[in-house]
Amino acid sequence: MQKLLTLLIVALATLLAGCAASVQRPGGADAALKVSPAATRRVALYVQPSPASMQKSADWELFRTEWRSAMAAAAGAAGKPFTYYDVEPSGATEPATLIVVTINDYRYISPGARYGLGILTGNAYIDADARFYELPQRQQVGARKYATTSTAWQGVFSAMTEKQVQAITTEMIKELDAR
């Protein structure tokens, strides 16, 4: 009985390993972000499409909501206040780090679609560029490229868009803290 239980736990852990999303950084290692300590205490995020026609996609607002939720969780876990902007901010009065994410391409796969249709949903992916600005003077302090993808062959355990956005936002916060 003990061996069967151990085998089941190992099998479950192996299956769930596919749930994690890994972030690729095309272009290799970048120089550390040059952000003042005061600006790293607060995080602001603006997500924009490229091209603008992406906004007409039926899942664009769901996708932006994933970014808002994921960054709120990542910033909160790091003890940083978080602000999300629906439009690119024109001015700020407090020190913060503004991250402007430009979505070059994505494929939104919801948990419901993945669990309901498995491999038939295809692959979720994100290709995004991020520019980091120190506020209030809005001085660019760095830029990064982020990419994630899933494989439909992992079935319902493949990383969906939600997990991919969480992985990217967690990576962004780590970069701020590593400055």
Structure token pair of residue 65: 């909501």
- Neighbouring C-beta atoms of residue 108, cutoff 10 Å: 20
Question: pTM to 2 decimals?
Answer: 0.79
Angle at 83 between CA 77 and CA 88, to 5 degrees: 140
The torsion angles phi and psi of 115, rounded to 5 degrees, stand at -70, -35
CATH of 20-178, picked from 3.40.50, 3.40.1840, 2.50.20, 3.30.70, is: 3.40.50
Structure token pair of residue 131: 């520019």
Q: What is the pLDDT of residue 134?
A: 96
Q: Identify residue 136 by its one-letter amino acid code.
A: P
Pick the residue with more confidence: 105 or 17?
A: 105
Whole-angstrom distance, CA of residue 39 vs CA of residue 83: 13
Angle, in degrees to the nearest 10, between helices 60-77 and 161-178 = 40
**Where is 128: in which H helix or E strand?**
strand 125-135
- Neighbouring C-beta atoms of residue 104, cutoff 10 Å: 14
CA atoms within 13 A on the CB side of 168: 32
Residue-wise pLDDT tens digits, 73-123: 999 999 999 999 999 888 888 999 999 999 999 988 765 554 545 555 567
Residue-wise pLDDT tens digits, 36-45: 999 999 999 9
Question: What is the distance of C-alpha 134 from the center of its chain?
Answer: 20
Residue count of the chain: 179
Residue-wise pLDDT tens digits, 132-156: 999 999 999 999 999 988 765 555 4
Q: What is the pLDDT of residue 117?
A: 52
